[in-house]
A and B are shown apart, each in its own frame.
Chain A
Amino acid sequence: MYRFVIRRLMLAALTMFVVSVLTFFMLRLIPGDIVDLMLSDFGYAADRDAILRELGLHKPFYVQFGEWFGGLFVGDLGQSLWTGNTVTHELGRRYPVTLELSIIALVVSIVLSIPIGIITAVRQDTWVDYALRSVSIGLVAVPILWIGTLVVTLPALFFGWAPPLSYVPFTEDPIKNLSVMALPGVIVGIPLMGGTIRMTRAMLLEVVRQDYIRTAWAKGLQPRTIWYRHAVRNALIPVLTLIGLQIPFLLGGTVIIEQIFNLPGMGIYMLQSLQNRDYVPAQTIILTFAGATVLINLVVDLLYGVLDPRIKYA
């Protein structure tokens, strides 16, 4: 068990290292950098070399990389090339927004889609099953950028009501905060639901065909007991993996929804830095998201062992 965790943690660290190397060098291999932009658009300094020295970009690539990567370990995530603010400071203000969105999305998608998945399996091949399954296939196809746009524009037209678009931190006013965040959170969760519903149904139908379920029926147990105590518990384990796999897509969704609902989260920060060709924050955000994904998948793997005692990690 401990050896498994340590091995996985080392692998995770390696993955993160590869991600940081890739993003760092991808960006510096390609011309048209921030220096030209600063020089041409803003007359920031007398000449190119002066700016380069100012920003520390005159050093060789590997030295820059070493400094940036080394800094990550001591909590120094680098500096925005434009504002000079540290990325740590900027992210500290913004990560709660993205985190809250993700949590709302995950909770909503799980709480809604697992019961729906169970219903479709229990009522297999009835109209309830067909209707709910059609909806779940549809949900995957409807892009959140569209739902978001509709929700922001149409109610104003038809009901004279618009969703609130001014963010309030949770610590300041929890109720106001939730009234702003609930809608975008739910929207990010919608595309995740399709997959979870289908997976729950498929797994449940697989489980109920097994011998021990037939034994349960033969013993004359209540259908309710069979479904919920014997079948569902076992069917949900693989669904966990799917939820782990959905994390990167969930985080991608927050970028879009933050843009639509004007929420000051990491996604908007990323877009702003890309617009200014300020790549240090962008790299750090990518790395943060990668870290979150790797960590959550590790947790999912460990939960597997807890939920199913047959699985042992050597």
Chain B
Amino acid sequence: MAVEGTRAQGAPAATRLPRRARGGFIGLVTRLFTEKPLGAVGAVIVMIMLLMAVFANWIAPYPYDEPHFSDALQGSSLSYFLGTDFIGRDLFSRLVHGARVSIVVALGSVTLGSILAGLIGITSGYMGGKFDTLVQRLVDAWMSVPPLLLLLFVMSILGPSTLNVTLVLGLVAIRESRVLRGAVLALKEQPFVEAARVNGATTLRILVRHVLPNVMVPIIILASLRLGQVILIEASLSFLGYGVPPPFPSWGRMLASESRTYMEIAPWLAIWPGVFLSLTVFGWNVLGDALRDLLDPRMRGTGGGYRSGS
């Protein structure tokens, strides 16, 4: 019936994009490269990291856990680009595979987190009333605790594993359900939602067919802004021994204090993992900022770039 049409035409300016990316994805990429040079740099860094993650087996000259005891703690050479660690594992190979670990955990947890934040924000905003009050107090409680500490706590109960880190890092998104709730509060007063209700649409249908499509853009923006943050927190958790367990290479754990004694003899062990980590976070941050500006400039100040990982 007319319901679908109402949504498309009657969508309020407040929740629609001002200039919806002309020509879809291609148009968006073009605008990113022409209007947002810094964002484009971020996109390139992110692409390189993604390629490294996907083709890690081909790019890395050695397996990440293959020790060469006689070549331990060597500097850069033709056979080991960036040197070796204390049991002679090739640092470059470990960094490349570290990109895979980092990206898999980050993408997984950000996807989970978006679903979680979407669920909380949309239901809490739409239902209102006692449910909303209760949920918002829980979100308050979550927001008052340093995320790193709470995640440490949960990880120590669950035990370190790559899957657990991914699941737990999804919780970081709870903080952002506030933004979505705000958007839904404005949305539910719109005529097209009312029209759907008059037409006899069930609550579930209204939420899925009418509300959700209108908050997809903020969800995507928040997700892209959260990626860098999640990568940093994963590194911090691994650094403290509660993240990705050995033997998987994690950038954060490579910097952990156990190897500090070796770093004084072999400074490359302290330098390169941090360079990879910082570059990746930088890439995601500036890309997220640029995407936000291109997709919905009104979301400035809702997070991203203003927060660090720890």
Binding site for B on A (CB under 8 A): 11, 14-16, 18-19, 22-23, 26-27, 30, 32, 137-138, 140-146, 149-150, 152-154, 156-157, 191-192, 194-195, 198-199, 202, 242, 245-246, 248-249, 251-253, 255-256, 259-260, 270-271, 274-275, 277, 282, 285-286, 289-290, 293-294
CA distance A245 to B147 in the complex (A): 12
Contact across chains for A274 and B152 when beta carbons are under 8 A apart: yes
Min Cβ gap B178→A in Å is 11
Q: Write the chain B residue with the least CB distance to A251.
A: B146
Given contacts A16-B144, A145-B236, A245-B307, list 18 more A-B pairs with CB under 8 A. Answer: A15-B140, A18-B137, A137-B282, A138-B282, A140-B305, A141-B228, A141-B278, A144-B308, A145-B255, A153-B263, A154-B270, A195-B306, A246-B307, A248-B143, A252-B236, A256-B310, A289-B149, A290-B144
Q: Which of A141, A153, A249 contacts B270 (CB 8 A)?
A: A153
Contact across chains for B141 and A248 when beta carbons are under 8 A apart: no
Min Cβ gap A261→B in Å is 10
Interface residues on B, range: 35 or more
Contact across chains for B281 and A143 when beta carbons are under 8 A apart: yes
Whether A194 touches B308, Cβ cut-off 8 Å, given contacts A145-B239, A274-B152, is yes
Interface of A is mostly: helix
25 A-B residue pairs with Cβ-Cβ distance under 8 Å, sorted by A, are: A15-B140, A23-B153, A32-B159, A137-B282, A138-B278, A143-B252, A143-B308, A145-B239, A145-B255, A146-B277, A149-B260, A149-B263, A152-B260, A153-B267, A154-B267, A249-B147, A249-B307, A249-B309, A249-B310, A252-B147, A253-B148, A256-B240, A270-B149, A277-B156, A290-B145
Interface flag for B274 (CB, 8 Å): yes
Min Cβ gap A150→B in Å is 6
Per the 8 Å Cβ criterion, residues 25-59 of B in contact with A are 38
Binding site for A on B (CB under 8 A): 38, 137-138, 140-141, 143-150, 152-154, 156-159, 228, 232, 235-236, 239-240, 242, 252, 255, 257, 260, 263-264, 267, 270-271, 273-274, 277-279, 281-282, 285-286, 300-301, 305-310
Contact across chains for B278 and A270 when beta carbons are under 8 A apart: no
CA distance A83 to B3 in the complex (A): 66
Q: A259: which B residues are within 8 A, CB to CB?
A: 239-240, 257
Interface of B is mostly: helix
Q: A282: which B residues are within 8 A, CB to CB?
A: 153, 156
Q: B138: which A residues are within 8 A, CB to CB?
A: 18, 22
Contact across chains for A157 and B264 when beta carbons are under 8 A apart: yes
Whether A19 touches B145, Cβ cut-off 8 Å, given contacts A143-B281, A194-B305, is yes
Q: Which of A16, A145, A255 contacts B149 (CB 8 A)?
A: A255
Contact across chains for B157 and A191 when beta carbons are under 8 A apart: no
Q: B228: which A residues are within 8 A, CB to CB?
A: 141
Q: A192: which B residues are within 8 A, CB to CB?
A: 308
CA distance A146 to B156 in the complex (A): 23
Whether A143 touches B306, Cβ cut-off 8 Å, given contacts A259-B257, A286-B149, A289-B146, is no
Contact across chains for B149 and A149 when beta carbons are under 8 A apart: no
Q: Write the chain A residue with the least CB distance to B281.
A: A141
Q: A27: which B residues are within 8 A, CB to CB?
A: 153, 157
CA distance A255 to B260 in the complex (A): 18
Min Cβ gap B9→A in Å is 33
Contact across chains for B310 and A142 when beta carbons are under 8 A apart: no
Q: Write the chain B residue with the least CB distance to A199.
A: B306
Contact across chains for A248 and B146 when beta carbons are under 8 A apart: yes
Q: B236: which A residues are within 8 A, CB to CB?
A: 143, 145, 252, 256
